[in-house]
Amino acid sequence: MAAAGAAGQEKQLAPTLLSFFIYNPKLGPKEGEEEKKILFYHPNEVEKNEKIRNVGLCEAIVQFTRTFSPTKPAKSLHTQKNRQFFHEPEENFWMVMVVRNPIIEKHKDGKPVYEYQEEELLDKVYSSVLQQCYSMYKLFNGTFLRAMEDGGVKVLKERLEKFFHRYLQTLHLQSCDLLDVFCGISFFPLDKMTYLKIQSFINRMEESLNIVKYTAFLYNDQLIWSGLEQDDMRILYKYLTTSLFPRHMEPELAGRDSPIRAEMPGNLQHYGRFLTGPLNLNDPDTKCRFPKIFVNTDDTYEELHLIVYKAMSAAVCFMIDASIPPTLEFCRKLDSIVGPQLTVLASDICEQYNINKRISGAEKEPQFKFIYFNHMNLAEKSTIHMRKTPSVSLASVHPDLMKILGDINSDFSRGETMDEMQTLQLLQPC
C-alpha cells in the first residue's frame, strides 16, 4: 500500500479529472453526425475524433451492459489507469466523468515508474460527485430538457459551457470522501425558544416582503430552517457552504475598521449586507441582479431569484419568483427591515449557543470519532472532518480508514436491509 516501501523515493499522485462530457445519442443517430451528440466536452482541446470515439465507447458500454440489466445499466467502468462514471440524469442525456486512478511514482534505475492504484477510488463517492454536478447545474440552469425547449441544442450547449467551464475547476477530486456520498446537511444545534424566535422572524419577514416564496436560515454555515423541499435544499446548502459563503469570508473576518470593511456600505444601525445582489445600496446605479435558481423541477418547476443576506454569522436566503425582478427600492426595504432584526437575532443565537455549549460541555474534544448521517432529514455530523475550507474538507483520520468506512457504507447500501439510520462509530485509532 501507499505507506509501505521506501517512502523517500515514492510520490503519491492524487486522482485527477481526465475528462468530463455530456452527450445525447438521440441528437446524432446517423453515421457521420456523431459530433452532434456531444453537448459538452472537457477538456475542449481534445481532438474531435477522439471526442467522438470516447463518447461512442461510453454509449457502447451502456448499451452492452443494458442487455444484462435493463433497468440498471453500468454506472462505472474500471480500467487500470482510470475509472469512468456514467450518469443518465434525464432521459437520453448522459454525463460521463473520467477520473485517473491515484498513482504511486517510484524510481527504478533512475527512471520514474508509475504504479496505478486501481482499487483506491470508491465508486459510490465519485458517482455521487457526478450526480452533484448535475444537481448543481440544474439548480442554476434548470433541466437539460428545459434548455432544449427554450432554444434547442444551441442554448443547452451555451449553458453547459458556461456552467461547467467554471464548475469543473472547483471539483477537488482528491478530497472527496464518504461525506460526498451523503451530501448531507449540517444542522445548527439550538434550543427550542431561540428556534421559535427564528421561526417567528422568518414568518414576519415573509409577510413584510410579500413576494418572498421560500426562506432558508443558516447560522455558522449550518442550517436551521428550510422552506424549500429537502432535495433542493440539499444542493443549495452545498452551494452556499462550499462556494458562496467561503467567497465572502474575508470581509467578515476583517475587523470593522479594516480597509475591506470600509469599502462596504457603512451602516451604523446593523451588520446586515447582501451576499448576492447589490453591493452598495447608496449607489443609485448599483445593479440588483441576483442569481437565478430552479427548484421543484419535477413538478411545479419554479424559477427563483436567490437573495442571500447576512448579518454576523446568521444568513438568510430569500427566494422570490423570477417573474418579479427585485428593484433597488425592494433591496433597500429588505435591508432596512431585515438588517436590524437579523442583527439582534444573530447575537441572540450566539449568546444562546454559548450558554448551551457551556452546559453540555461540548467544548471538549469529542470522545468518539464518528460520521453521523440520518437519511430521513439528511442531517449530517462528523467529528472526523475538520472545518470545511472553501474547497476541501479534511478528514483527521488516515485515508485508509476513510476508505474502509466508504466500503462499509457501500456494503450496507448494497444490501436492501439498510437500517433506518446509519451511524458509523469507531474508536479513535491511536
Partner 1 sequence: MAAAAGRQPPGPAEGEAPAAGREAGAGGEEGEGRAKGGVEAGGCYLALCARPVHFEKANPVNCVFFDEANKQVFAVRSGGATGVVVKGLEDRNPISFRMEDKGEVKCIKFSLGNKILAVQRTLKSVDFLNFIPDSPQLEYTQECKVLPEKRTLKLLKNQSINVNWYMYCPESSVILLSTTVLGNVLQPFYFKSGTMSKLSKFEIELPAAPKSSKLSLSERDIAMATIYGQLYVLYLRHHSRTSNSTGAEVVLYHLPREGSCKKTHILKLNRTGKFALNVVDNLVVVHHQDTETSVIFDIKLKGEFDGSTTIHQFVLPPRSIQPYQIPVAGPPSVTSQAPVPCKLYSSSWIVFQPDIIISASEGYLWSLQVKLEPVVNLLVDKGKLMDFLLQRKECKMVILSVCSQMLSEPERGSLSVIATVFDKLNNEYKKYLEAEQSYTMVVETGLSRSNPLLKRPVRTQAVIDQSDMYTHVLSVFTEKKEAPHKFTIAVLMEYIRSLNQFQIAVQHYLYELVIKTLVQHNLFYMLHQFLQYHVLSDSKPLACLLLSLESIYPPAHQLSLDMLKRLSTANDEIVEVLLSKHQVLAALRFIRGIGGHDSISARKFLDAAKQAEDEMLFYTIFRFFEQRNQRLRGNPSFTPGEHCEEHVTFFKQVFGEQALMKPTTF
Distance in Å, CB of 161 to partner 1, minimum: 34
Rg (CA), the chain: 24
Interaction of residue 298 with partner 1, rule CB under 8 A: no
Q: Cell numbers 414576519 label which residue?
A: 204
Which string of DSSP letters, residue by residue, matches 112-136? EEEEE-TT-S-HHHHHHHHHHHHHH
Interaction of residue 294 with partner 1, rule CB under 8 A: no
Distance in Å, CB of 241 to partner 1, minimum: 18
Which string of DSSP letters, residue by residue, matches 239-264? HIIIIIHHHTHHHHHS-TTSHHHHHS
Q: Which three cell numbers stand for residue 360?
A: 453540555
Distance in Å, CB of 195 to partner 1, minimum: 5
Determine the longest span between alpha carbons in the chain, in angstroms.
74
Interaction of residue 229 with partner 1, rule CB under 8 A: yes
Would you give the DSSP letter of residue 428? P
Interaction of residue 340 with partner 1, rule CB under 8 A: no
Candidates 82, 67, 62; CA nearest to 20 is: 82
Q: Beta-carbon neighbour count of residue 221 at 10 Å?
A: 18
Q: Omega before 43 cis (within 30°)? A: yes
Interaction of residue 199 with partner 1, rule CB under 8 A: yes
Interaction of residue 423 with partner 1, rule CB under 8 A: no
Q: Is 5 exposed, middle or buried (0-12, 13-18, 19+ CB in 10 A)?
A: exposed
Scanning 228-236, 319-327, 346-354, 360-368 for contacts with partner 1 by CB under 8 A, the matching segment is: 228-236
Pick from 54, 143, 226, 242: which binds partner 1 (CB under 8 A)?
226
Looking at residue 365, its amino acid is E
Interaction of residue 279 with partner 1, rule CB under 8 A: no
Distance in Å, CB of 204 to partner 1, minimum: 5
Interaction of residue 418 with partner 1, rule CB under 8 A: no
Interaction of residue 203 with partner 1, rule CB under 8 A: yes
Enumerate residues 134-193 that contact partner 1 by CB under 8 A: 187, 190, 192-193
Q: Which is nearer to partner 1, 76 or 297 (CB)?
A: 297
Pick from 195, 330, 370, 372: which binds partner 1 (CB under 8 A)?
195
Residues 6+ apart with CB under 8 A from 220: 188, 313
Pick from 41, 225, 245, 309: which binds partner 1 (CB under 8 A)?
225
> Cα 189 to chain center, whole Å?
22
Q: How many residues bind partner 1 (CB under 8 A)?
A: 25
Q: Which helix (H) or strand (E) holds 332?
A: helix 328-360
Distance in Å, CB of 353 to partner 1, minimum: 14
Interaction of residue 425 with partner 1, rule CB under 8 A: no
Distance in Å, CB of 217 to partner 1, minimum: 11
Q: Which three cell numbers stand for residue 227?
A: 422552506
Interaction of residue 318 with partner 1, rule CB under 8 A: no
Q: Which is nearer to partner 1, 243 or 296 (CB)?
A: 296
Interaction of residue 420 with partner 1, rule CB under 8 A: yes
Residues 6+ apart with CB under 8 A from 134: 87, 89, 95
Scanning 152-160, 204-212, 318-326, 393-401 for contacts with partner 1 by CB under 8 A, the matching segment is: 204-212
Contact 96, 86 (CB under 8 A): yes
Q: Which is nearer to partner 1, 341 or 347 (CB)?
A: 341
Q: Which three cell numbers stand for residue 104?
A: 504511486
Looking at residue 12, its amino acid is Q
Enumerate residues 351-380 that contact partner 1 by CB under 8 A: 376-377, 379
Give the residues lining the site for partner 1 (CB under 8 A): 187, 190, 192-193, 195-197, 199-200, 203-204, 206-208, 225-227, 229-230, 233, 376-377, 379, 420-421
